[in-house]
Amino acid sequence: MKKIISFTLILFFCANLYSQELKYVRNTISRYYKLDPKTVNLWVKDLNGCKGFRSFFVDKLTKNKLLIGMPQDLFFDLFGKADFIGEDGIFIYFSGCKCDNKLKRIPETDFTQIVFQFKEGKLFSIEVAIP
């Protein structure tokens, strides 16, 4: 019984440590690229752009020239998984979506795409598209 409790405590400690480390890394990267860490955290939490947080951040992203050249793995550490992955290094995040209760985008509704294109493992361009 003691072994189970000890193992559970170790797992909890490691998970908590990983979460704190990831938050520290995101905050450090955000500041280096002149991004507000709180806004970046809201971006990551806004799955499929359903909560509307990304909408407020789009203009800042497209104007931030420091992001161009950011390594791809660092980018995903910061912004999280893309909502859609295309060909030729294109990763798309949705914004302003109407979603169901499971945070899935409702088809046939208006939304904005923030398109990030990578070449040779580095961010090459940021564009906004309304399909």
What is the tens place of the pLDDT at every residue in 67-94? 999 999 999 988 999 999 999 999 999 9
Count CA atoms closer than 13 A to 94's CA, side-chain side: 22
What is d(CA 121, CA 18) in angstroms, rounded to the nearest whole number? 25
Looking at residue 21, what is its pLDDT?
A: 65
What does the pLDDT look like over 35-67, one tens digit per residue? 888 888 899 999 899 998 998 888 888 899 999
Q: Give the percent of the chain with pLDDT over 70.
A: 82
* Mean pLDDT across 96-115: 88
Query: In this model, does residue 10 exceed pLDDT 50?
Result: no
pTM of the model: 0.78
Q: Which of 13-17, 30-34, 42-46, 102-106 has the largest mean confidence?
A: 42-46
Angle between helices 2-32 and 37-45 (to 10 degrees): 120
